């Protein structure tokens, strides 16, 4: 997930990038940077997968699955988890996916943009790849809703172990924690974010210590390290084992986060954090829980909180609640980041985006997304009531995103890296088989919670595709009535209008003709400013565009200019800042002498071709509530003149 609480990590990573480009740093500084980045990665990247031991084993052996709790089955399940972590996380994500970076950035949106860049817009694969990327993104949103709900529920359910009479307080306490968490999002995480890494390190140390304690008591569980035990388990239990596989996937939730956060930390710190801290701690704890259940099968109701005895339950509840809040914070921040990228790629309407840090551009807060997500999370907590009930919903969201990621990776390796077909199939085919198996097993829970993320994904997918199609229809309508700019200027200056002091900047879309705002201004005011600039914003399918490449100026004659502004989908749009860069092209702007003319489009649904009537009305509603262009591009409000125009679709 594309977390935003990275105030120190990002600065350190920038220093590392400067070092690679020629700056000289001492070996001590290099070592310090790696340690700091690794610590930050432990706190942000691995919070989700790190809290999976809270609920994974008790869900696998839920009586509803029909899997008998026996020593052979325990060893088989732990073997599945261990080798699943090895193959899916260590091999697929840490070894393969971290190589598929889009100029250093990762995540489903960055991967989709990379895959789309690998084929032409006229390719038969272009639209399916876009749909696949959008589908993966919508499933990520489902994951980001379920993670806070299941994680915090799983932590607070430890109270039931200490005192069964406290069971009725689990859901209310979960609601209190979640409401408090979402309420402080507007303040950002700069104040508490520095503690994320240390707290999660303590968490992983606790996992490892508990695991070793129980392994020593029952070393027979080490037989699970033999991959044949996983295979024997699947063969012996067949269908029941396949059903249980849908719960085993809970041990791999959060694997997508290490890929999504690659741009914030870099590959090496993420790999070091996984192999040195996270993987050993998780493996030891799952082995330890298996050993505990061999000796005490009656603890299957919640084995995690029984690992050290009754004295440790309340401290573990406190520590696990802190860990799950950190894991939830990472998914919430990732949702904000994903939404911002979707807006830039034209998949969602513009929304209000607030920055919560003066030093870290990635720390953002989107009020609409924050409160909508909280509502859905609370619905999940109240509706499902326990982490066991939410487990079925979790599996589908996670495995669907994994499958989409793997398929997109095939197109990147084949059409971007131009690797041999056999190698591409070999590199991704094995993981596609694994993903299909896990997804298929998860779909068995469709009626037991699996419908929930699918419903969320359907709503979001419909929203994104409706917005994208609606914008396309608006563009086609504008193109139909567009007046070529060059021809217009040539005829305009045959008998030029009076020109007034100052600079007028007219925003125009890509491939648009004469801006409607210019036509309205000439029609009503009969004047033209002494310098006229036509400004067009282009979003490239890359994360970032270098500042020196963001502005291009073309002279059109008669002191008129076309300024093309280029942003990546993770860049922060800031028109006044990019106009300052025009000085290197011989154009300087004084804001108090510059007026921005923007045509505010009012979209009207009309019968005929286009979308279904309900989709057109939905698009019109979104369009009317979208954030204004001036606000989104950070144009000073006192320098903006808005002129209305109607567009039929």
CATH number at residue 399: 1.20.1740.10
Where does a domain end: 413, 437, 469? 469
Report the candidate in 439, 368, 427 with the shortest Cα–Cα distance to residue 399.
439
- Please indicate, yes or no, if residue 98 is contained in any of the structural domains: yes
CB 153 within 8 A of CB 386: yes
In-domain check, residue 475: no
Of 443, 469, 495, at which residue does a domain stop?
469
Residue at 486 is within a domain: yes
456 and 553 housed in the same domain: no
Task: Assign residue 515 a region (left: φ > 0; alpha: ψ between -120 and 50; beta: otherwise).
Answer: beta
Give the Cα separation of 339 and 124 in Å (integer). 27
Could you give the CA distance from residue 20 to residue 403 in angstroms, rounded to a whole number? 34
Contact 101, 277 (CB under 8 A): no
Instruction: State how far the Cα of 376 lies from the Cα of 367, in Å rounded to an integer.
Output: 14
What does the pLDDT read at residue 47?
84
**H-helix segments, 513-580:** 516-525, 575-580
Whether residue 477 lies inside any domain: the answer is no
Residue 476 domain flag: no
Same domain, 62 and 158: yes
Phi, psi of 300 (to 5 degrees): -65, -20
Q: Where is average pLDDT lowest: 84-98, 170-184, 261-275, 352-366?
A: 352-366
Q: Report if residue 171 sits inside a domain.
A: yes
Domain that holds residue 613: 482-648
Q: Over the stretch 534-572, which tens digit does the pLDDT of each residue have?
A: 999 998 878 888 888 899 999 998 899 999 999 988 888
What is the band of 70 on the pLDDT scale with cuts at 50, 70, 90? very high
**HSE of 445 in the Cβ direction (CA atoms, 13 Å)?**
35
Q: Which helix (H) or strand (E) holds 374?
A: helix 367-384
Q: How far apart are CA 113 and CA 130, in angstroms?
A: 8
Are residue 32 and residue 81 in the same domain, yes or no?
yes
Q: Taking Cα atoms as reference points, which of 326, 1, 52 lies closest to residue 189?
A: 326
Q: What's the average model confidence in pLDDT over 233-261? A: 87
527 belongs to a structural domain: yes
Rounded Cα distance, 638 and 592, in Å: 9
Same domain, residue pair 460 and 491: no
- For 95, phi then psi, to 5°, come to -90, -45
Task: Yes or no: say if 85 and 251 are a contact pair by the CB < 8 Å rule.
Answer: yes
Of 469, 504, 521, which closes a domain?
Answer: 469
* Range in 11-15, 64-68, 123-127, 384-388 the model is least confident about: 11-15
Please state, in angstroms and rounded to a whole number, the distance separating the CA atoms of residues 278 and 299: 25
Mean pLDDT of 306-319: 89
Same domain for 209 and 121, yes or no, is yes
192 and 275: one domain? yes
Entry pTM:
0.81
Distance CA 55, CA 66 (A): 17
Same domain, residue pair 50 and 169: yes
Number of folded domains in the chain? 2
Three-state secondary structure call for residue 532: strand
Residue 443 sits in the same domain as residue 488: no
Q: Do 348 and 425 lie in a common domain?
A: yes
- Tokens 């929930």, residue? 452
pLDDT band for position 34 (50/70/90)?
confident
Average pLDDT (199-205) is 93
CB 576 within 8 A of CB 590: no
The predicted model gives 507-531 an average pLDDT of 84
What gap in Å lies between CA 536 and CA 550, rounded to an integer?
11
Q: Are residues 126 and 260 in the same domain?
A: yes
Give the domain CATH number at 548. Answer: 3.40.50
Does residue 293 share a domain with residue 413?
yes
Same domain, 527 and 589: yes
> How is residue 311 written in tokens?
């004295």
Helix (H, G, I), strand (E, B) or coil at 533: strand
Helix (H) or strand (E) holding 392: helix 387-411
């Amino acid at each position: 997930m594309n977390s935003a609480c990275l105030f120190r990590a990002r600065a350190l990573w920038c220093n590392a990038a400067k070092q690679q480009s020629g700056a000289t740093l001492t070996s001590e500084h290099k070592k310090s940077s790696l340690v700091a980045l690794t610590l930050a990665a432990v706190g942000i990247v691995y919070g989700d997968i790190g809290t999976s031991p809270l609920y994974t084993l008790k869900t696998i052996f839920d009586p509803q699955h029909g899997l008998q709790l026996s020593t052979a089955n325990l060893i088989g399940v732990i073997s599945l988890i261990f080798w699943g972590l090895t193959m899916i996380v260590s091999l697929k994500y840490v070894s393969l996916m971290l190589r598929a970076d889009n100029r250093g950035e990762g995540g489903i949106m960055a991967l989709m943009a990379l895959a789309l860049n690998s084929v032409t817009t006229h390719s038969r694969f272009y639209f399916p790849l876009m749909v696949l990327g959008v589908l993966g993104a919508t499933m990520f949103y489902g994951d980001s809703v379920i993670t806070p709900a299941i994680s915090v529920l799983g932590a607070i359910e430890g109270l039931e172990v200490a005192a069964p009479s406290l069971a009725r307080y689990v859901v209310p306490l979960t609601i209190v924690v979640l409401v408090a968490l979402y309420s402080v999002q507007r303040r950002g995480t700069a104040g508490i974010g520095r503690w994320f890494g240390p707290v999660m390190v303590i968490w992983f140390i606790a996992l490892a210590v508990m695991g070793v304690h129980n392994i020593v008591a029952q070393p027979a569980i080490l037989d699970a390290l033999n991959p044949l035990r996983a295979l024997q388990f699947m063969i012996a239990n067949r269908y029941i084992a396949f059903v249980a596989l849908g719960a085993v996937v809970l041990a791999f939730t959060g694997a997508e986060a290490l890929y999504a956060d690659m741009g914030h930390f870099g590959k090496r710190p993420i790999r070091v954090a996984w192999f040195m801290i996270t993987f050993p701690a998780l493996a030891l704890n799952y082995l330890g829980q298996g050993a505990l259940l061999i000796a005490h099968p009656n603890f299957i109701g919640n084995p995690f909180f029984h690992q050290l005895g009754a004295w440790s339950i309340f401290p573990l509840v406190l520590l696990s609640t802190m860990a799950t809040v950190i894991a939830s914070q990472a998914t919430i921040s990732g949702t904000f980041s994903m939404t911002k990228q979707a807006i830039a790629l034209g998949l969602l309407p513009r929304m209000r985006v607030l920055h919560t840090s003066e030093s870290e551009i990635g720390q953002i807060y989107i009020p609409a997304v924050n409160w909508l997500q909280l509502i859905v999370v609370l619905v999940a907590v109240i509706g499902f009531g326990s982490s066991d009930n939410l487990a079925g919903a979790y599996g589908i969201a996670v495995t669907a995103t994994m499958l989409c990621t793997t398929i997109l990776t095939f197109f990147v390796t084949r059409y971007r890296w131009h690797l041999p077909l056999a190698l591409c199939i070999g590199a991704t085919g094995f993981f596609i088989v694994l993903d299909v198996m896990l997804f298929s097993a998860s779909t068995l829970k469709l009626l037991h919670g699996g419908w929930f993320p699918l419903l969320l994904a359907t709503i979001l997918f419909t929203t994104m595709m409706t917005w994208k199609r609606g914008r396309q229809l608006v563009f086609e309508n504008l193109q139909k009535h567009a007046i070529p700019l060059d021809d217009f200027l040539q005829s305009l200056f045959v008998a030029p209008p009076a020109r007034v002091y100052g600079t007028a900047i007219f925003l125009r879309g890509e491939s648009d003709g004469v801006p409607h705002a210019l036509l309205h201004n000439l029609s009503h005011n009969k004047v033209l400013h002494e310098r006229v600039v036509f400004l067009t914003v282009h979003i490239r399918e890359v994360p970032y565009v270098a500042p020196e490449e963001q502005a291009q100026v073309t002279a059109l004659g008669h002191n008129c200019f076309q300024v093309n502004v280029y942003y990546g989908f993770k860049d922060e749009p800031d028109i006044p800042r990019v106009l300052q860069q025009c000085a290197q092209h011989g154009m300087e702007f004084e804001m108090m002498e510059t007026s921005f003319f923007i045509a505010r489009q009012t979209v009207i649904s009309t019968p005929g071709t286009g979308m279904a009537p309900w989709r057109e009305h939905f698009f019109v509603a979104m369009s009317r509530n979208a954030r204004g262009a001036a606000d989104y591009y950070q144009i000073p409000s006192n320098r903006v003149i808005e002129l209305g125009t109607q567009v039929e679709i």
